[in-house]
Chains A and B, each alone.
Chain A
Amino acid sequence: MTPDTAGAAAERAAADDAVTCTGLAHAFGGTKAVDGLDLAVGPGEVFGLLGPNGAGKTTAIRCITTLLPVPAGMVRVFGHDPARDRMAVRRLLGYVPQQLSADAALTGRENVTLFARVFDVPRRERAARVAQALAAVDLTDAADRLAKTYSGGMIRRLELAQALVSAPRLLILDEPTIGLDPIARTGVWEHINAVRAATGMTVLVTTHYMDEADQYCDRVGLMHRGRIRALGTPAELRQGLGERRRAQGAPATDPPPTLEDVFRDVAGSGLDDTSGDFRDVRSTRRTAHRLG
Chain B
Amino acid sequence: MSEAPAAPPTVSAEPAGESGIGLLVRPPRPRAGWRLLPARVAAMCAVELQKLRHDRTELYTRAVQPALWLLIFGQTFTRIRAIPTGGIPYIDFMAPGIIAQSAMFIAIFYGIQIIWERDAGVLNKLLVTPTPRSALVTGKAFAAGVKSLIQAIVVIVIAALLGVALTWNPLRLLGVAAAVILGSAFFSCLSMTIAGIVLSRDRLMGIGQAITMPLFFGSNALYPVAVMPGWLQAVSKANPLSYQVDALRGLLLGTSAHLALDFVVLVVAAALGITAASGLLGRLAR
Contact = CB atoms under 8 A, between A and B. Distances in A.
A266 interface: no
B128 A67 contact: yes
B10 interface: yes
Contacts of A169: 27
Interface stretch (B17-25, B60-68, B233-241): B17-25
**Majority secondary structure, B binding face:** helix
B6 to A, nearest CB: 16
B27 A136 contact: no
B128 A93 contact: yes
B23 A67 contact: no
A136 B19 CA distance: 11
B81 interface: no
Nearest to B135: A118
Given A68-B286, A105-B55, A120-B29, A97 B20 contact: no
A136 B286 contact: no
A66 interface: yes
A93 B130 CA distance: 9
Contacts of B15: 136-138, 187, 190-191, 194
Interface residues of B, number: 45
A34 B121 CA distance: 21
Contacts of A106: 47, 50-51, 54
Contacts of B120: 99, 101, 103-104, 291-292
A140 B21 contact: no
Interface string B6-41: 000110001110101111111111110000100110
The 4 A-B pairs of least Cβ separation, nearest first, read: A101-B121, A292-B120, A117-B43, A99-B121
18 contacts: A91-B130, A95-B125, A97-B121, A101-B121, A114-B46, A115-B125, A118-B131, A120-B28, A120-B31, A129-B24, A132-B21, A133-B24, A135-B20, A135-B21, A137-B15, A159-B125, A166-B28, A190-B15
Interface of B: 9-10, 14-16, 18, 20-31, 36, 39-40, 42-43, 46-47, 50-51, 54-55, 119-122, 124-132, 282, 285-286
